[in-house]
Structure 1
Amino acid sequence: MMKDYDLIVIGSGTAGSVTAMKCNKAGWKVAMVDELPFGGTCALRGCDPKKVLVGITEYIDGVQRLQNAGVKGAVQIHWNELMQFKKTFTDNVPDRRNKNLQKQGIDTYHGHASFIEQNKLQVNQETLKGTYILIAVGASPVKLPIKGSEYFTYSDEFLELEELPKNLLFIGGGYISFEFAHLARRSGANVQILHRGARPLKEFDKDLVNKLVDYSRGIGIDLHLQTEVKEIQKTTTGYRVIGNQGKETKEFKADLIIHGAGRKPNTDGLNLENAGIKAGIDGIEVNEYLQSISNPHVYAAGDVTATKGKPLTPVAGMESHIVASNLLKGNSRPITEQVMPTTVFTLPKLASVGLSEEEASLQNIDYKLNHIDVTNWFTYKRTNQPVAFAKILVDQTNDIVIGAHLLSHEADELINHFATAIQFRLPAKEVKKMLYAYPTTASDITYLL
């Protein structure tokens, strides 16, 4: 028996939820399908639980930095208790989300969805037909051509570890590896990162990345660059990782190998070809309204799309709002470029928004660069932060901020002020007139511009 809907949403995370609820509120008959627990990556397996864990390590790091500055006594993380605390934020999400959707009148299905026709899906033993279908299934770890890749532990599994192994090895030098490496190191583990390129965290300012790399090594994270992993072998005591550094073969040992080498649009298994949906390595190909370029019944939002948006939760939420508007009002709201700050939640944190120096130069912008070591500024010295830097780019012709790059414990909050200035093209001279509460991190903005 086939069930008919006005809208079927595949995926229960941020990219799908807004559209589902808005269309349901407008009177549409809506269904939501997810083969994983309802709630999506961010709430269950990504940013939210990660931030809970990182938050605890911030306190540990603070106590260690302030020894002999009024603080006495050692503290340590008890990993199992930390994970139990994390679960208080995640365990009730799927059931709560499912009940909330059903209460609103949205039908929920737990199972794998795959296309059988342009607007028909197979879910378990049922066939669902949608006037429109929104694909919002996010991303998954990219497959690596490494012999022994079946021994990988993935980020979602790392966030469920009941006990933290003594020796960890991360493959890849991106967000996941650096954030989890800092978390694990401050929780007492020995940590290695193997990165095939010469520069990790390539989306961020290279000078500040170098500062973070130096600091990471200083706290005991063993980072190996230009190291290409060829094979993972299981041993009686753990794992052996074999890689090449130039012409030299290297061996590394660990109790756990974590995949941190990037993610890709999660389109495998959807049988997109049955619905004539075009997709490439960057995701589902959509027009400016987030509608499939080859199947008008289908829209896509979030990490699964081949748009220029960053793979971040706020972008997924924004795109879900856009899809809802275009479904309810006809294609009238195109996706527009949005200023989007991003942060690596290491300690110190690395944050960025707007243009880099290279990008500003390529656009022939006459810019002023304020590159400042703020380690000895009151804001950072009062908590004994060992490294704090800022890079601010100002378009001298138009007197507007065009880029900001920060490395400090407060970078994640401070970057939002610069994002606001860039988004609304606020004149730098006007931003400098703002009276901020003092002494706060934001009150330093006047001296950074």
Structure 2
Amino acid sequence: MKNYDLFVIGSGMAGMSIAQKAAAKGLKVAITDELPYGGTCALRGCDPKKVLIGPTEAHYHADHLLGKGINQVPEINWEDVMEFKQKFVDEMPPKIEAGYENKGIAMYHENARFLSEDTLQVGQEKIRADKIAIATGAKPRELDFLGAEYAQTSTDFLNMKEMPESLLFIGGGYIAFEFAHIAARCGAEVTIVHRSQAPLKNFEQDIVDHLVKATEELGINLVLETEVCGVEKLEQGYQVKGETNGEFEFFKAEMVINSAGRPPKIFDLDLEKANISYTKKGIEVNEYLQSTTNSRVYAAGDAADSPGLPLTPVGVLEGYTAASNIIKVEQKIVEYPPMPTVVFTLPTMASVGLTEAAAKAGGYNYRVNYKEAENWFNARRLQVPEYAFKTIIDKETETVLGAHLIGPNAEETINLFAMFIKTEIPVTEIKKMIFSYPTLASDISYML
């Protein structure tokens, strides 16, 4: 039986952060992943998705500037886009493995499961470790209706050789909206079927309403308050059965995508054998990211039931914090700064801090600035009809509690709001700042 100071399960950004930091401090470290090293973000999520979005940005702006200096909207070549994307994906695993090798980290390419509190079965080997870190990330939610096996995943979408003529997305979260926008701009007929009254429930709904409008104007069929209850394979494509208040509706599509959420990938680890408590949200951890029931075990990223949002930078933060607590006797409490999150549709929607509902529930004395800004210069010069903001300001301290944007460069502007919240800089001081003009950041003082 092999022995390690630390064994890491999962090679995404959280697991990588833990393994590299611990190895740099002299611990004997090993890591395993049954999939290629790099995790969801680098190989099956954020990065390849953003590469695919690039050509659609050119399409989006050309479409809005048609007749304003642009004579035609470019056609997107899916095969070329995929080839470009794959270059980024293919280079990651060998680069990561080389980094592990340089740091003396032992590498396994097997799934892992617990045999006891400190022992794992990794492929055909039994391994004991003083500390074990779980950073397995998340996976697509398992659907439990007839024909669920016909639904593809976001990974399948990111590896499509050709764009189908029609697609249907099950679920109304950010994955569905982002991929639906990509597919629609590539010429596909797209449907989103969502079981609740409002999609993207964790975002400020006043801003979501603008995205819904833009989504429908793009030609995407957005079907709300409808539960998918079956998928039937046809001679060509699939028929999806939806139920609304006891009545059934049927949709046809060449491809069906399961975008109904991503639970933590922990339920096949035999956690009970290691006395590891968990919930449907992940491993139960304390403020040090340590298992509440097995002090040898730490969890980070999507695998942990922690206050952190399911975002790559948060996984890295938690990974470094967990590593510090594995390495040192002193305990480091995980501290979360404001966590901006973005829906990479076009228009782009971004959010950081409190929503109005959260501010009200928290008992804050606040004021709200909400405005549609499609007549502002930055919207008019790009000819985009979707530009709006909602900011939440603490009346007592005159600091920003939350900011919610939709429109050009929202994914960048939101980072400035994150800094304002973190530093608690008063609104009066923000308004004194000089931003380069004309930029989207120069609009900030008018949003407060």
Residue equivalent to 1:111: 110
CA distance in 1, matches of 2:40, 2:128: 26
Q: Distance in 1 between matches of 2:333 and 2:281?
A: 20
- Structure 2 letter corresponding to 1:244: E
The 5 Å alignment of 1:110-149 reads: 110-149=109-148
Cross-structure match for 1:361: 360
Partner residue in 2 for 1:95: 94
Alpha-carbon distance between aligned partners in 1 of 2:404 and 2:55, rounded to the nearest angstrom: 25
Find the aligned partners of 2:105 and 2:301 in 1 and give their Cα distance: 21
Deviates most, 184-193 or 125-134:
125-134
Residue 422 (structure 1) aligns with: 421
Give 1:175's aligned residue: 174
Q: Distance in 2 between matches of 1:63 and 1:181?
A: 19
> Shift of the alpha carbon at 1:275?
0.9
Q: CA deviation at 1:336?
A: 2.5
Structure 1 contact 153–257 (Cα < 8 Å) conserved: yes
Match of 1:380 in 2: 379
Tell me which residue corresponds to 1:431: 430
Deviations 1:133-188 (A, max 9, x none): 10000011112221111011000111000111101000000011000000000011
Contact 1:289 / 1:331 at 8 angstroms: preserved in 2?
A: no
Matched, 1:299 2:298: yes
RMSD over equivalenced CA pairs, Å: 1.0
- 8 A contact 2:59–2:73 mirrored in 1: no
Partner of 1:408: 407
Tell me how far 1:331 sits from its aligned partner: 4.5
Task: Tell me the equivalent position of 2:75.
Answer: 76
Match of 2:281 in 1: 282
Q: Secondary structure at the match of 1:370?
A: strand
Residue 166 of structure 1 corresponds to 165
Counterpart residue identity of residue 109, structure 2: H
Which residue in the other structure is 1:262 paired with? 261
Corresponding residue for 2:270? 271
What SS does the aligned partner of 1:295 have? Answer: coil
- Where does residue 65 of structure 1 map in the other structure? 64
Residue 81 of structure 1 aligns with an amino acid whose one-letter code is D
1:305-334, CA deviations, whole angstroms, 9 ceiling, x for partnerless residues? 111211110110000110111112224211
Asked if the contact 2:290/2:298 (under 8 Å) is kept, the reply is: yes
CA distance in 1, matches of 2:129, 2:362: 45
- TM-score, length-scaled by structure 1: 0.98
1:312 counterpart letter in structure 2: L
> 195-204 or 363-372: which moved more?
363-372
In structure 1, distance between residues paired with 2:73 and 2:368 = 41
Distance 1:418 1:62 in 2: 25
| Cα displacement (A) at 1:268 | 2.1
Letter of the structure 1 residue corresponding to residue 194 of structure 2: H
Q: Residue 222 of structure 2 corresponds to which residue in structure 1?
A: 223
Quick one: which amino acid aligns to residue 277 of structure 2? K
Residues 147 and 231 in structure 2, CA contact (< 8 A), matched pair in contact too: yes
| Counterpart in the other structure of 2:241 | 242
Structure 2 Cα separation of the partners of residues 101 and 312 of structure 1: 23
Q: What is the distance in 2 between the residues matched to 1:382 and 1:437?
A: 16
- Aligned-pair identity (%): 47
Alpha-carbon separation, structure 1, partners of 2:386 and 2:297: 48
Q: Which letter maps to 1:344?
A: V
Distance 1:241 1:331 in 2: 55
Q: Any idea what SS the aligned residue of 1:432 has? A: helix
One-letter amino acid of the structure 2 residue matched with residue 130 of structure 1: A
- Which residue pairs with 2:323 in the alignment? 324
CA distance in 2, matches of 1:331, 1:14: 24
Structure 2: gaps of 5 or more residues: none
Conservation of the 8 A alpha-carbon contact between 2:194 and 2:226: yes
Whole-angstrom distance in 2 between the partners of 1:163 and 1:287: 46
Letter in 2 for 1:58: E
CA distance in 1: counterparts of 2:422 and 2:110, whole angstroms: 40
Any conservation in 1 of the 2:285–2:304 contact (CA below 8 Å)?
yes
* Matched residue type, 1:19: I
Take 1:337 and 1:13, find their aligned partners in 2: how far apart are those partners? 20
> How far apart are 1:210 and its partner, in Å?
1.2
* In 2: Cα distance, 1:178 partner to 1:365 partner: 32
> Cα deviations across residues 269-306 of structure 1 (Å, max 9, x unaligned)?
11111111111111111111111111111100000111
Deviation at 1:345, TM superposition (A): 0.4
CA distance, structure 2, for counterparts of residue 15 and residue 331 of structure 1: 21
After superposing the two structures, state which structure 1 stretch, 263-272 or 332-341, moved more: 332-341
1:22 and 1:336 map into 2 onto residues whose CA distance is 18
User: Is the CA contact 1:136–1:300 (under 8 Å) kept in the aligned structure 2?
Assistant: yes
SS of match in other structure, 1:130: strand
Once the 2 structures are TM-superposed, how far is the Cα of residue 47 of structure 1 from its aligned partner?
0.4
User: How far apart, in 2, do the equivalents of 1:96 and 1:410 lie?
Assistant: 31
Further displaced range: 170-179 or 240-249: 240-249
Distance 1:361 1:204 in 2: 15
Deviations 1:241-290 (A, max 9, x none): 11112232100000110011101011121111111111111111111111
- Listed one character per residue, the Cα deviations across residues 16-56 of structure 1 (whole Å, up to 9, x for unaligned) are 11111111111111101000000010000000111111122
1:170–1:177 contact (8 Å) kept in structure 2: yes
- Whichever residue aligns with residue 184 of structure 1, its letter is A
User: d(CA) in 1 for partners of 2:246 and 2:9?
Assistant: 46
In 2, Cα distance between equivalents of 1:238 and 1:220 = 20
Give 1:435 shift: 1.0
